[in-house]
């Protein structure tokens, strides 16, 4: 599993041109730096939700649009994508996927993040 995760992080870093990581064990979250403005990455996240049949359950915009959140549901998992300004022309992206308060779905979070990166 560690080799698979490391390979994913390297691939994601190459695609985004920036460092990426996943959060702690069992967290059900993935994060990275994605090329593009917050607005552009938010549009890509909406597109990924549509492609993956994730039903949008909410959106939030904060700080005059420099921070955004997209929430959705797929099967039993709740998904939250958080986007904010990164260095230069990049955005910080965190994807959290949880089945309940105690169970994360890291594979789903990683897949969503990878698809956002591929479209950016």
In the structure encoding, which two tokens stand for residue 33, read together?
Answer: 């730096």
> Which of 78, 102, 107, 81 has its CA nearest to residue 1?
107
- Domain containing residue 65: 2-119
**101: confidence class by pLDDT, cuts 50, 70, 90:** confident
- 75-85 residue pLDDT tens: 999 999 999 99
- Please, what is the average pLDDT of the chain? 84
CATH number of the structural domain spanning residue 77? 3.30.310.240
Q: Give the global pTM.
A: 0.79
Q: Structural domain tally of the chain?
A: 1
Give the residue-averaged pLDDT of 40-64.
Answer: 97
Q: How far is Cα 34 from Cα 104, in angstroms, rounded to an integer? A: 23
């Amino acid at each position: 599993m560690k080799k698979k995760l490391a390979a994913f992080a390297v691939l994601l870093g190459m695609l985004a041109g920036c460092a990426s990581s996943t959060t702690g064990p069992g967290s059900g979250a993935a994060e990275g730096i994605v090329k593009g403005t917050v607005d552009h990455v938010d549009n890509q996240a909406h597109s990924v939700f549509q492609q993956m049949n994730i039903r949008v359950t909410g959106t939030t915009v904060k700080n005059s649009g420099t921070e955004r959140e997209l929430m959705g549901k797929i099967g039993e998992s709740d998904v939250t994508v958080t986007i904010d300004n990164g260095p230069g022309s990049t955005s910080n992206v965190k994807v959290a996927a949880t089945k309940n308060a105690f169970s994360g779905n890291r594979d789903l979070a990683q897949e969503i993040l990878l698809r956002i990166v591929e479209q950016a």
